[in-house]
Structure 1
């Protein structure tokens, strides 16, 4: 199967970026999370925390960026490509924050399907916050439950990645895609 689009998702601070970097180190093609890029662009425009100040605009920009990534992934000549977060993540976060959004969000998720979803469970021992990750661990737990339910609502069966070292988690993912 060509161009399988494989999402790595999970709540904040679950190790997604570390795994994506490890996948790249092993020669895998990966597309990175774009939320920090959206936040930094907004800061250049004078909006300190776009998500907090204008959550719908932030989510629209995320949806657009993730749709662009989805389309970009189709253009690679490879068996698979890993994507740090998928389109349903946007809906999960909007639902978590109880923020209304237009029907195009659902249509975009329904019309653009991924091949596999790997989800990283909350893990208190590795959780840290920073300037772009402002959620507490308790909030990260809730966000994680929204991610699980949102992906299932769109017909996915997310594969939970066990709490292991970055290397072992990466190998778990690579072994699963070979099956």
Structure 2
């Protein structure tokens, strides 16, 4: 059983806040590769930005997600990921039409259950690292809701609750042996 749990879903729906809550509770976490890449690219005037060169951005996200998995394997304990390899490969597929590499996905599996944060209009906001609107975020969410099950993952949609309650919800729905 994989100890790598994905939090995915709609942009701007509280995944990063939820990840911070899980970290506060002592769990290992891997922050969203996309947000880290955007921050790095903005600081260095790079072009691997989703609004400049989506393919370069997605390729960078794939590399970073793979490195996050390597780093998590070294810890050998439960790790929560704010997005991951599947999200990055899905972004590349959307940007370029490039086929989703089932071999790459199969060789780098996460826990079978993915926690998907749905669109949440009341908390969505753009920022310097998230420039797209809610409509784009919802379209991405819908793509991910199709891609994860097609790759053999079970999707559990997170309820729209306060962050602590969302964290409790995740922990209640994971196998106890994973939490030890």
> CA offset at residue 49 of structure 1?
6.2
For the residues of structure 1 that align with 2:71 and 2:34, how far apart are their CA atoms? 17
SS of residue paired to 1:158:
strand
Equivalent residue number for residue 66 of structure 1: 65
SS of residue paired to 2:109:
coil
1:92-134 CA-to-partner distances (Å, cap 9, x unmatched) read 223444x23366x443223211113111111111111111111
Equivalent residue number for residue 90 of structure 1: 88
State which of 114, 123, 126 in structure 2 corresponds to 1:126: 123
Equivalent residue number for residue 159 of structure 2: 162
> CA offset at residue 42 of structure 1?
2.3
In structure 2, stretches of 5+ residues that fail to align are none
Moved over 6 A (4+): none
Equivalent residue number for residue 140 of structure 2: 143
Matched, 1:110 2:106: yes
Q: Count how many residue pairs are aligned between Structure 1 and Structure 2.
A: 175
> CA offset at residue 158 of structure 1?
1.2
SS of residue paired to 2:17:
helix
Matched, 1:57 2:56: yes
2:18/2:166 contact within 8 Å kept: yes
In structure 1, stretches of 5+ residues that fail to align are none
For the residues of structure 2 that align with 1:11 and 1:106, how far apart are their CA atoms? 23
| RMSD after superposition | 1.9
2:33/2:84 contact within 8 Å kept: no
1:56/1:101 contact within 8 Å kept: no
TM-score, with normalisation over the residues of structure 1? 0.88
